[in-house]
């Protein structure tokens, strides 16, 4: 089945530094990848949608300069949290789709803690 | 955006009991997905429904989508501790702008 690998699974960084999270589709080409954020005891909030080779589409209220998304190939998308602050601490999870109507596969998530 | 409301928000059931989780949309659904999540972990795909009136089952879990495609239910028969977790319904729109957004989630606990 379709597998999405997300790394790292957890990361602790100092306030003001940047953190990169990778999302790879291992056995299929992901035409579209999605990035979500999840606060404790809450549902997943879609942050942005990225298509290979084009700029990401951000949801309303999501800072483009804070959360940089790069989808350089059909198997890799990265989310960089720039100048991280404690309020950016959260669970980030990616998802990949290989086409409309074919469903979505999720990574295992990354727990970011900014100290 | 498509609003998805789930009910109940949380549920505690005794092992062996049946339960139902509902997902209601303010707009007509196109693809409706059910996922399970353990807190702090990734999502496990359960089922996808696309046709009005569709019903799918896997092991002890049954999901239905109503004819109007605005409401879905997830039913678990004879619950087990392994069913505990967060259940999320998600929906997307057909077409090139397809993206998956989620409901508010239902936290299920199964007691012995």
Which positions 92-111 of A are in contact with B (Cβ < 8 Å)?
A: 93, 95, 97, 100-101, 103-109, 111
What residue in A sits closest to B40 (Cα-Cα)?
A91
Determine whether the interchain pair A101/B88 forms a contact, defined as Cβ–Cβ distance below 8 Å.
no
Beta strands in A39-81 (DSSP E): 44-51, 57-58, 67-73, 76-81
Minimum-distance CB partner of A44 among B48, B50, B102: B102
Q: Find the residue in B nearest to A48 (Cα).
A: B99
Rounded to whole angstroms, the Cα distance separating B109 from B11 reads 6
Q: What is the pLDDT of residue B2?
A: 58
Pairwise CB contact (< 8 Å): A104 & B100: yes
Kindly state the average pLDDT of the residues B29-52: 89
pLDDT digits (tens, 9 = 90+) for A76-114: 999 999 999 999 999 999 999 876 666 788 999 999 999
Distance CA B40, CA A9 (A): 10
Q: CA–CA separation, A37 vs A94, rounded Å? A: 9
Residues in chain A within 8 Å Cβ distance of B100: 34, 46, 95, 97, 104
Whole-number Å distance between alpha carbons of A51 and A34: 9
Question: pLDDT class for B37, splitting at 50, 70, 90?
Answer: very high
Q: How far apart are CA B75 and CA B18, in angstroms?
A: 7
């Amino acid at each position: 089945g379709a597998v999405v690998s997300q790394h790292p699974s957890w990361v602790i960084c100092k306030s003001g530094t940047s953190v990169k999270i990778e999302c790879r589709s291992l056995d299929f080409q992901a035409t579209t990848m999605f990035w979500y954020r999840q606060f404790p005891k809450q549902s997943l909030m879609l942050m942005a949608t990225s298509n290979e080779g084009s700029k990401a589409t951000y949801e309303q209220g999501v800072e483009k300069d804070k959360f940089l998304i790069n989808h350089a190939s059909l198997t890799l998308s990265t989310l960089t949290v720039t100048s991280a602050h404690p309020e950016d601490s959260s669970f980030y999870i990616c998802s990949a789709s290989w086409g409309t109507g074919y469903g979505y596969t999720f990574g295992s998530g990354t727990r970011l803690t900014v100290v | 955006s498509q609003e998805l409301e789930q009910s109940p928000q949380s549920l505690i059931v005794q092992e062996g009991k049946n339960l139902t989780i509902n997902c209601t949309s303010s707009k007509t659904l196109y693809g409706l997905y059910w996922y399970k999540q353990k807190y702090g972990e990734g999502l496990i795909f359960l089922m996808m429904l696309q046709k009005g009136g569709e019903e799918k089952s896997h092991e002890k879990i049954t999901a239905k989508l109503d004819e109007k495609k605005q409401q879905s239910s997830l039913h678990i028969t004879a619950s087990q501790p392994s069913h505990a977790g967060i259940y999320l319904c998600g929906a997307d729109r057909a077409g090139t702008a397809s993206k998956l957004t989620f409901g508010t989630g239902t936290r299920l606990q199964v007691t012995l």
